[in-house]
Structure 1
């Protein structure tokens, strides 16, 4: 067992991959708690998919990919808000229109770029190819996001539970919502190297959903959600190394396995405990 754990860590690329994956997934897990609580799962998908054209354009122009991703992520949020205010369409419809259109634009732009190898990694992730510089960048973005989430956690939580009351006591609900959306864009950028555009949505939703099944208080949910993300990264990286399979896919499947266990066995909301209680009630 000790050899299974230590052998991969003999290689510098595995050390970088494991560190990047854990940081990315843990930060995604923290934000996931709010996304699940606020019903923003579709918004997470919208931001994650809408950044693709920004990444391609940044690659073509020779500027940092994260800058292009952030600009298009915030542009997607602005477009969704504008459509919601100027039409009678429901929110999920406007989200679907914006993110599918921008994702398709990204695919078209990718088809015009001669060298696509690096851009393919944006779609599917390339955590095993991360360098020490990538690790420092992910650590910086992850630390910034986690710090803001921790410092403003009470305000964000109040906005999530009761926006009307939050506005009544003087909280800048609009500003806090914008900051949370900006953190969503930053978190997505942080996880790009690990999971890619396609899979990052899963790790933005599954840890929060798993924690929601297990705990009562939001503070505990936040910690459990981050832990589920971090554990998923560890299990996924080691699985991909020993079985020679996709690292991003392995991380998401590890998170899915934890959700399934919570769904089946959670004392509070698990399926099997509920069936057991019903059977006992009928027997009495």
Structure 2
């Protein structure tokens, strides 16, 4: 028991760890809340696109000596506009357009970063550096997280209907175009907030995995949201603890833990898990066998 207490208390002796745990938990909660909508809408690839597209924005913002969040957000929204424009003007399917845009933006970011490599640590941008997060970045993350959560709360029902059935949402008078860009703007904001925690490459996992885990555990959206947020907070906090004790990548530990939670849910989910489906298949086979005997 004392070993467990010491394991939990030891990191709290350092201010940078307290900050890291707080920021990780906050980002984990926000990403998890948004991931429910991403899962319902089937936008995992869109999350990947936006998270990668912010890289050139970071480089441009540094060159212009403005907050990195501004550049990242502008390029994140710009990637969404580019995807919509190309899709509307060509016969190319959306998934192909997304792949073209996000790889193009990401490559542009790599080129720009290479020009200022001595000043910007590419590793921290790609994989995060929550252990070295500055106070200004904490304030920025708190503000972005607060804005995202408030908007999600205000538009919860409209966004849920839009993600579940956009045709029905349009038929009852909802402005689906507005909801489309609101959701993608929130996606860009969240990618910026998670930049310091897990970095550009791993943020897509935080925007997908908690929602996918919760989707296996509940058929009700409100319950799914609570499960996802609990999963996001738990994996973020425990991932930060584990990274401290094993001296490993914080973002990597968080995402690995989220993936393990998903695997547990995939196997043991009471209704949609592999074991439950196996029992259901056996019962159906047994019932069919009895029918044949009759």
| Alignment partners' CA distance in 1, 2:35 and 2:229 | 8
Q: 2:186: which partner in 1?
A: 183
Q: 1:11: which partner in 2?
A: 14
* C-alpha deviation, 1:120, in angstroms: 2.7
Do the aligned partners of 1:19 and 1:135 also contact (CA within 8 Å) in 2? no
Q: 1:59: which partner in 2?
A: 62
Do the aligned partners of 1:126 and 1:195 also contact (CA within 8 Å) in 2? yes
Candidates 127, 137, 149, aligned match of 2:140: 137
Candidates 209, 214, 218, aligned match of 1:211: 214
| Alignment partners' CA distance in 2, 1:25 and 1:116 | 28
Do the aligned partners of 2:113 and 2:120 also contact (CA within 8 Å) in 1? no
**TM-score when scaled to structure 1?**
0.97
- Please list the CA deviations of residues 98-135 of structure 1 after superposition, one character each: whole Å capped at 9, or x if unmatched: 00011001111111114144343111100000133322
| Alignment partners' CA distance in 2, 1:172 and 1:161 | 15
Equivalences for 1:180-259 in 2 at 5 Å? 180-259=183-262
* C-alpha deviation, 1:280, in angstroms: 3.8
- Please list the CA deviations of residues 203-250 of structure 1 after superposition, one character each: whole Å capped at 9, or x if unmatched: 100001000000010111111111111111011101100011100000
SS where residue 245 of structure 1 aligns?
coil
Do the aligned partners of 2:52 and 2:106 also contact (CA within 8 Å) in 1? yes
Q: 1:148: which partner in 2?
A: 151
* C-alpha deviation, 1:170, in angstroms: 1.5
* C-alpha deviation, 1:24, in angstroms: 0.6
Equivalences for 1:10-89 in 2 at 5 Å? 10-89=13-92
* C-alpha deviation, 1:276, in angstroms: 2.4
- Please list the CA deviations of residues 176-221 of structure 1 after superposition, one character each: whole Å capped at 9, or x if unmatched: 1111111000000000000100000111000010000000101111
| Alignment partners' CA distance in 2, 1:48 and 1:133 | 21
Do the aligned partners of 1:56 and 1:119 also contact (CA within 8 Å) in 2? no
| Alignment partners' CA distance in 2, 1:58 and 1:118 | 14
Query: Aligned pairs, how many?
Result: 284
Candidates 264, 275, 278, aligned match of 1:261: 264
Q: Does 1:161 align with 2:164?
A: yes
SS where residue 200 of structure 2 aligns?
helix
Do the aligned partners of 1:70 and 1:185 also contact (CA within 8 Å) in 2? yes
Do the aligned partners of 1:13 and 1:131 also contact (CA within 8 Å) in 2? no
| Alignment partners' CA distance in 2, 1:98 and 1:17 | 32
SS where residue 193 of structure 1 aligns?
coil
Do the aligned partners of 1:207 and 1:229 also contact (CA within 8 Å) in 2? yes
| Alignment partners' CA distance in 1, 2:256 and 2:86 | 35
Q: 2:107: which partner in 1?
A: 104
Q: 1:3 to 1:103 in 2, by over 3 A?
A: same
| Alignment partners' CA distance in 2, 1:88 and 1:155 | 29
| Alignment partners' CA distance in 2, 1:35 and 1:112 | 34
